[in-house]
Amino acid sequence: MPELPEVDTIVEELKHSSLIGKTLVGVKAYWPKTVAFDSTKLKPQKLMNISRRGKWIVLQFEHGFLFIHLRMTGKFKILPTSDPILDHERAVLNFKNGTSLRFIDTRKFGRFYWSEDQTLFFENIGIEPLSEEFTPTLLKKLLMKRNRKIKPLLLDQSVIAGIGNIYADEALWEAKIHPERVASSLLEKEIISLHKGIQSSLRIGIALKGTTLGKGKSNFYRLDGSEGKHATNLKAYQKSGSRCSRCSTVMVKKTVGQRSSHFCPHCQRLF
């Protein structure tokens, strides 16, 4: 599942792919909904930069921005334009030099958007959890007066950008906080642990180039098709039934806010 570390991995690889500086000549959608804007708006122009905001990939062109969300199964590959269409290829960006950026997306939830205004596009997105501004003090402000459970709050992209189910479970395990704790009830000490848990789980995910679960082709894969190595490092996500690596208690799974949560009932207690 592409979350901040997986998207970051892809963005870094795209940046080093030599696409920057090349001229885009056209976008084509094989699955019409994937390109969620009038593609005639995208005139031939140079790709200036590639960056990430939350789980969004941002391709900055001379006259606007292409915002891409991978959702569950979106992947990229760079191939010669003359190569045949791949299985599950939903859209393609063709460049003047004869290379193309292919978008492969089994589930078809991924989307491309176009806007001239990056600030407007991101007006409702939360803070970057690895930025300097994201301090324990700021996290405390975000949690204050919130009567929501901490897990759904961590997944709320308008509060903190980029955390999904994997890293939310990892961060809460790291901080020894039960996913159903009410956000405003966290003690100073716990907020500091949670801040640390969020940052360290995201950083290790980035260092290991993302999480590839199993072998399925709907899985997360890097630009060159190789696997992210973070799955072997997971302490909570999908660990229900195995023993907690801290205290050996059997981990459990419970639905919290319509999403499955994996945690240690001993380390992460509600009261």
Place of tokens 């929501």: 148
Q: Are 264 and 245 spatial neighbours (Cβ–Cβ below 8 Å)?
A: no
Residue 203 annotated in active site: no
Tell me the C-alpha distance between 63 and 92, whole Å.
19
What x-and-dash track marks residues 230-259 binding DNA by CB under 7 A? Answer: ---------------------------xxx
71 torsion bin: left (phi>0), alpha (psi -120 to 50), beta (else): left
Structure token pair of residue 182: 């009410």
User: Applying CB under 7 A, does 140 fall inside the site for DNA?
Assistant: no
**Residues contacting 162, CB < 8 A, separation 6+:** 3, 4, 7, 54, 55, 128, 129, 202
How many Å apart are CA 180 and CA 191, to the nearest integer?
Answer: 15
Q: Which is nearer to DNA, 11 or 24 (CB)?
A: 11
Q: In what order do the strands lie in the sheet with 45-53?
A: 74-80, 99-105, 89-95, 23-29, 45-53, 56-61, 64-69, 111-115
Comparing CB distances to DNA, the nearer of 81 and 218 is 218
The question of whether 77 is a catalytic residue gets the answer: no
Q: Catalytic one among 52, 53, 55, 102? A: 55
Of 31 and 265, nearer to DNA (C-beta) is: 31
Residue from the set 166, 171, 172, 194 that interacts with DNA by CB under 7 A: 166
Tokens of 135: 């301090």
Query: Which one of residues 28, 149, 229, 254 is an interface residue with DNA (CB under 7 A)?
Result: 149
Among 188, 216, 224, 271, binds DNA (CB under 7 A): 216
Nearest CB to DNA, comparing residues 20 and 138: 138
Binding residue for DNA, selected from 28, 69, 229, 235, defined by CB under 7 A: 69
Catalytic residues: 2-3, 55, 259
Binding site for DNA (CB under 7 A): 1, 3, 31, 33, 55, 69, 71-72, 106-109, 145-149, 152, 155, 157-158, 164-166, 183, 216, 218, 257-260
